[in-house]
Amino acid sequence: MPRFLSALLFGAFALSNPALAQETAPALALELNALQPADTGCRVTFLATNNLGGQLDRAAVEVAFFTSDGAIDRIVTLDFKALAEGKTKVLQFELKNSACDGIGRLLINDITACEGTGIAATACLDGLVTTTRPDIAFGV
């Protein structure tokens, strides 16, 4: 009986502790880290962390950029290229002819590539976790 009780208590603790549950769940974590004015427009910086359980040979994300008043400005596919398992990678993309202060929201419209040994094509979207540092909505 003590083993059963210990297992039951550990299970309850794991379910009540989102950080513990999140660490064990396969995930592709994307953080919108910064928007910085650049000579040609706006530089968008992401942090990407592959915790899907294997090497990603290619990950590409279709992102819809909305203006601060809610209109769609553009839809672009951002190629995150290869992402090693357990590694965080910084990626920067230039949005030409776009002012950073005019961007109001980023929406993950689709994952157009999720390729790697032992990784299902749907794993990137199924395990997608988004966060943002700027005061801009970012997610699915």
Q: What pLDDT score does 80 carry?
A: 92
DSSP string, 26-69: -EEEEEEEEEEEETTEEEEEEEEEEESSS-EEEEEEEEEEEETT
Predicted model pTM: 0.77
Q: What is the pLDDT of residues 41-77, one digit of tens each?
A: 999 999 999 999 999 999 999 999 999 999 999 999 9
Q: What pLDDT score does 1 carry?
A: 47
Share of the chain above pLDDT 90, in %: 74
The ranges assigned to domains in the chain are 26-139
Residues 6+ apart with CB under 8 A from 45: 32, 33, 34, 35, 36, 90, 91, 92
State the CATH architecture for 26-139.
Answer: Sandwich (2.60)
Judged against a pLDDT cut of 60, whether residue 3 lies above it is answered with no
Q: What pLDDT score does 52 carry?
A: 93
